[in-house]
């Protein structure tokens, strides 16, 4: 399956390569699109049946997309090719039988699990850290803030600090052979 990518180092480019290596998928990456919107346009133009940015579409967006495609097919304006199914990260981790493969997918998925973490400088007193966390949590729970985020159609899925902390600890404990394998996959010599 042809997938659209946005450039070296982006998830749209790294995931297909890693999934080909670990799960034996046969993604053919067409890279160089300027961003997520361009990968969507590539799909609409038939250049790539699926942009493999695994978080690109929320469920309702995906449903609307499928409904539009079905409408096009009924009207005879579509090529009527079958809708591809994008692999989900969780499916891939369960499908891996070797611990090293699972570790590699967990290493790849780790940054996404934290999304956009906020960090403070090292040595910050515990009282200040607690104050920043309470302020962040209060902001995330604020009705006006959430309403504004909804108006902007912004994804708002804050994670507690303990989740990010455990994710960081897990990533730091990734065995060196897994890290070296990922380096070889993503930057072959």
pLDDT value of residue 173: 92
Would you list the domain boundaries of the chain?
2-87, 116-158
- C-alpha 144: how far from chain center: 28
DSSP assignment letter at 76 = T
Residue recorded with tokens 């515990």 = 126
For the question of whether the overall pTM of this predicted structure is more than 0.75, the answer is no
pLDDT value of residue 159: 81
Instruction: Give tens-digit pLDDT for 156-179.
Output: 888 888 888 888 888 899 999 999
Contact 54, 22 (CB under 8 A): no
167 Cβ partners below 8 Å, 6+ apart? 110, 113, 114
Phi then psi for residue 155, to 5 deg, are -70, 125
Contact 73, 67 (CB under 8 A): no
The ranges of the chain with pLDDT < 70 are 50-97, 189
């Amino acid at each position: 399956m042809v997938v659209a990518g946005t450039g070296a180092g982006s998830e749209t480019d790294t995931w297909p390569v890693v999934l080909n290596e670990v799960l034996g998928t046969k993604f053919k990456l067409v890279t160089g699109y300027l961003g997520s919107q361009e990968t969507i346009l590539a799909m609409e133009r038939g250049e790539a049946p699926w942009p493999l940015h695994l978080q690109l579409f929320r469920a309702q967006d995906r449903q609307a997309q499928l409904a539009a495609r079905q409408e096009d097919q009924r009207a005879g304006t579509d090529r009527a090719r079958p809708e591809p199914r994008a692999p989900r990260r969780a499916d891939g981790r369960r499908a891996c039988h070797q611990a090293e493969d699972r570790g590699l997918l967990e290493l790849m998925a780790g940054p996404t699990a934290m999304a956009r973490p906020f960090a403070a400088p090292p040595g910050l007193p515990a009282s200040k850290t607690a104050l920043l966390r309470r302020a962040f949590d209060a902001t995330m729970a604020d009705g006006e803030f959430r309403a504004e985020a909804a108006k902007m159609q912004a994804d708002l899925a804050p994670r507690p600090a303990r989740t990010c902390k455990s994710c960081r600890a897990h990533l730091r404990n990734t065995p060196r052979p897994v890290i070296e394998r990922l380096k070889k996959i993503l930057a072959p010599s």
